[in-house]
Amino acid sequence: MKIFINKLIPKAGMEILEHPDIDLLMPENPEISYDEWISYCQQCDAILNIGAYKIDAKFFDLCPSVKAVCLFSVGYDQVDLEEATKGGIPVSNTPDVLSKATSDISFMLMLMVSRLASFNTNQIRLGVRFKYFNPVANLGQELYGKTLGIFGLGRIGYEMAIKCQAAYQMPIIYHNRNRNKEMEEKLNAKYVSFEELLAQSDVLSIHANYSPEYLGHFDAKAFNQMKPNSILINTARGGFIDEDDLNQALSDGKVWGAGLDVTNPEPMLPDNPLLKHERVCVLPHIGSATIEARSGMARIAAENVVAFVEGKQLKTCLNP
Ligand code: DGY
């Protein structure tokens, strides 16, 4: 079977794809346009896909030969699952293996923002000379006993919560589309409304699955309800946050700081005013960028391809 893979993945996955019934198609240059991507997909029975090109009704129309979609990500916001299911096309993701790595980035961003680390590293890079130690400059905040609010308590949110509890004894509150009693019990976490989450969190960390109705969910109205000392962390998807409103909220002191591993668009443009704030740290979507997590993702995605080729159910199928 012909399988399209748009980018090289770690060895753990490439080895699994060396299967007698797999004929792999991979572009020499991984940065292909949407049209090039479509024309590769049109030649294949299934795709192992990395990236944000939409896999929607138009895609399924243009690529009728594609009978399975194996994503190299836990997030699946780029896929119209309903359309895939309508066409009988299984879609898989790569859950669990990146939860620790991604929550490490959430935790790291929380600390970096709380202690102005990114801004100060940059000052040194820029050659700013500090004449003497200033007792009233660069004052961050400590996190001991502060309240962690989680928007979207799933696997990654859980990992963030246990780190924050272990390190700083932070009480946990959360808001989800559906209440998760099992996680509540494990973490001694309290379920709250979205408004309560905004009003009570000292650190508010976004971990939900993204879907278009959440575009700009964290906007001026939300920021107005947050504590002036609050730190907003996002390692989920950039679309959750209205960046213009966040910029204004930071300038007006409605939100204290922000740590963003995901932005809209990605990467963030260098003239984005958010980058001028001392208490903002921005990263280029590196949540899962560890050898361990990416190898795990490669293995799961490749195993899903092999399952399809062998006529079996995809192991981490999202629409069984
Ligand atoms: C994921 O796995 O969803 C990461 O954010 C990479 O897209």
Residue 132 has pLDDT above 80, yes or no: no
Q: Are 258 and 280 in contact (CB under 8 A)?
A: yes
User: Alpha helices, DSSP H only, in 254-319?
Assistant: 291-309
Mean pLDDT of 6-14: 98
Provide the token pair at 38.
């479509």
Question: Measured from the CB, is residue 98 less than 6 Å from ligand 1?
Answer: yes
The answer to whether 256 touches 230, Cβ cutoff 8 Å, is yes
pLDDT at 141 over 80: yes
* Token duo for residue 41: 């997909």
| CATH 3.65.10.10 correct for 2-96+291-309 | no
| Residue-level pLDDT at 69 | 98
Task: Please work out whether the CB of residue 257 comes within 6 Å of at least one atom of ligand 1.
Answer: no
pLDDT of residue 49: 98
Is the peptide bond prior to 267 cis by the omega test (within 30 degrees of 0)? yes
Going by pLDDT thresholds of 50, 70 and 90, the confidence category of residue 130 is confident
Pocket test for ligand 1, best of 260, 261, 288 (most atoms within 8 A of CB): 288
Query: Residues 75-97: what's their mean pLDDT?
Result: 98
Residue 129 confidence (pLDDT) above 90: no
DSSP per-residue codes, 60-125: HHH-TT--EEEESSS--TTB-HHHHHHTT--EE---STTHHHHHHHHHHHHHHHHTTHHHHHHHHH
Using the 8-state DSSP alphabet, how is residue 285 labeled? S
At 245-292, the pLDDT tens digits run 999 999 999 999 999 999 999 999 999 999 999 999 999 999 999 999
DSSP label at residue 305: H
Q: Is 260 helix (H, G, I), strand (E, B) or coil?
A: strand
Q: Whose CA is nearest to atom 4 of ligand 1?
A: 73
User: Which atom number of ligand 1 is nearest to the Cα of residue 235?
Assistant: 5
Cα distance between residue 5 and residue 217, in whole Å: 33
pLDDT at residue 320 tops 90: no
Atom of ligand 1 nearest to the CA of 297: 2
Q: Is the CB–ligand 1 distance for residue 287 below 6 Å?
A: yes
Ligand 1: centre distance to CA 77 (Å): 10
Domain spans of the chain?
2-96+291-309, 99-282
State the distance from the centre of ligand 1 to the C-alpha of 73, rounded, in angstroms: 4
User: What pLDDT was estimated at residue 134?
Assistant: 87
Q: What spacing in Å lies between the alpha carbon of 186 and ligand 1's midpoint?
A: 25
pLDDT given for residue 4 in this prediction: 98
Ligand 1: does its nearest atom lie under 6 Å from the Cβ of 288? yes
Q: Cα separation of 122 and 57, whole Å?
A: 45
Alpha helices, DSSP H, located in 18-74 = 34-41, 57-62
pLDDT at 9: 98
B/e letters for 145-180, b = 16+ CB within 10 Å, e = fewer, are ebbbbbbbbbbbbbbbbebbbeebebbbbbbbeeeb
Average pLDDT of the chain? 97
**Could you give the percent of the chain with pLDDT greater than 90?**
97
Q: Give the residue, out of 53, 73, 96, with the most ligand 1 atoms within 8 A of its beta carbon, to mutate for a pocket test.
A: 73
Give the C-alpha distances (Å, rounded to integers) separating 310 from 94, 278, 294: 19, 53, 24
Average pLDDT over residues 59-64: 98
Catalytic residues: 237, 266, 285
pLDDT at 131 over 80: no
72 CA closest ligand 1 atom index: 2
pLDDT digits (tens, 9 = 90+) for 172-227: 999 999 999 999 999 999 999 999 999 999 999 999 999 999 999 999 999 999 99
Cα(258)–Cα(249) distance, rounded to whole angstroms?
A: 11
Q: How far apart are CA 175 and CA 259, in angstroms?
A: 19
3-state DSSP helix/strand/coil % of the chain, to nearest 5: 40, 15, 45
Q: Other CB atoms closer than 10 Å to residue 47's CB: what's the count?
A: 25
* pLDDT at res. 146: 98
- What is the chain's length? 320
DSSP letter assigned to residue 314 = P
Residue to probe by mutation, ligand 1, list 98, 106, 156, 210, most atoms within 8 Å of CB: 98
Question: Whose C-alpha lies nearest to ligand 1, atom 3?
Answer: 75
* CA distances from residue 158 to 58, 132, 189 in whole angstroms, order as listed: 36, 42, 10
116: left (phi > 0), else alpha (psi -120 to 50), else beta? left
For atom 2 of ligand 1, the residue with the nearest CA is 73
Ligand 1 centre distance from Cα of residue 254 (Å): 29
Q: Is the CB of 73 under 6 A from ligand 1?
A: yes
CB 74 less than 6 A from any atom of ligand 1:
yes
What's the ipTM? 0.96
Q: Order of strands across the sheet with 46-49?
A: 23-25, 2-5, 46-49, 68-71, 91-92
Residue 305 banded pLDDT, cuts 50, 70, 90: very high
58: CA distance to ligand 1 center in Å? Answer: 23
- Does domain 99-282 bear CATH number 3.20.20.70? no
